[in-house]
Structure 1
């Protein structure tokens, strides 16, 4: 499933690069769906879950950005200096926050609660 996910992701990004709107847009759902399934399947491993949630948010941001360029609202001002494509910063930032929480709070807490392994002779 992870390998198929990469194929869909690459097809989406190549379509974006080549401005193949129908293929690019149609690749959003399978790419995002498989990323969500992978995150769900790894939910019991906190580190994997954090990274896979960040990937889901990254693909969401990336897909929104692609759509904003395809439909030419990427440069449309939304508020002040903020344009349509700048709204992709929201899921990008959420992904960074998930990882920051993991590395700053969750991982150090896990390291201190791990029982020390006995040295083997």
Structure 2
């Protein structure tokens, strides 16, 4: 499933690059769906879940950015100094926050618990 996911992701991004709107928009669904399935399947492993959630958020941000360019609202101001494409920062930052939480809070906690368990 992970390998097929990469194929869909590449097709989505190549379509974006080549401005093949129908294929690019179509590829959002399987790319995002498989990423969500992978995240769900790894939910019992905190490290994998955190990274896979970050990927889901990355694909979401990337897809929104692609849509904003395809439909020409990427440069439209939605607030002072903020364009349509800047809104993709919301899921990008959310992904960064998921990983920051994992590396700054969860992983050190796991390491401490492992050290206590080995004593």
Q: Note whether the superposition's TM-score is higher than 0.5.
A: yes
Deviation at 1:35, TM superposition (A): 0.1
- Which runs of 5 or more structure 1 residues have no equivalent in the other structure? none
Give the superposed CA RMSD: 0.7
Q: Secondary structure at the match of 1:53?
A: helix
Alignment of 1:89-108 (within 5 A): 89-108=89-108
The one of 107, 115, 118 aligned to 1:116: 118
Deviation at 1:82, TM superposition (A): 0.2
Deviation at 1:116, TM superposition (A): 1.7
The equivalent of 1:42 in structure 2 is 42
The equivalent of 2:31 in structure 1 is 31
Question: What's the TM-score, normalizing by structure 2?
Answer: 0.97
Matched length: 117
Q: Secondary structure at the match of 1:27?
A: helix
The equivalent of 1:79 in structure 2 is 79
Deviations 1:27-61 (A, max 9, x none): 00000000000000000000000000000000000
The equivalent of 2:57 in structure 1 is 57
Q: Secondary structure at the match of 2:118?
A: coil
After TM superposition, where is structure 1 displaced by more than 3 Å over at least 4 residues in a row?
Answer: none
Deviations 1:49-103 (A, max 9, x none): 0000000000000000000000000000000000000000000000000000000
- Distance, in Å, in 2 between the alignment partners of 1:42 and 1:111 is 20
The structure with the greater share of residues assigned to helix is: 2
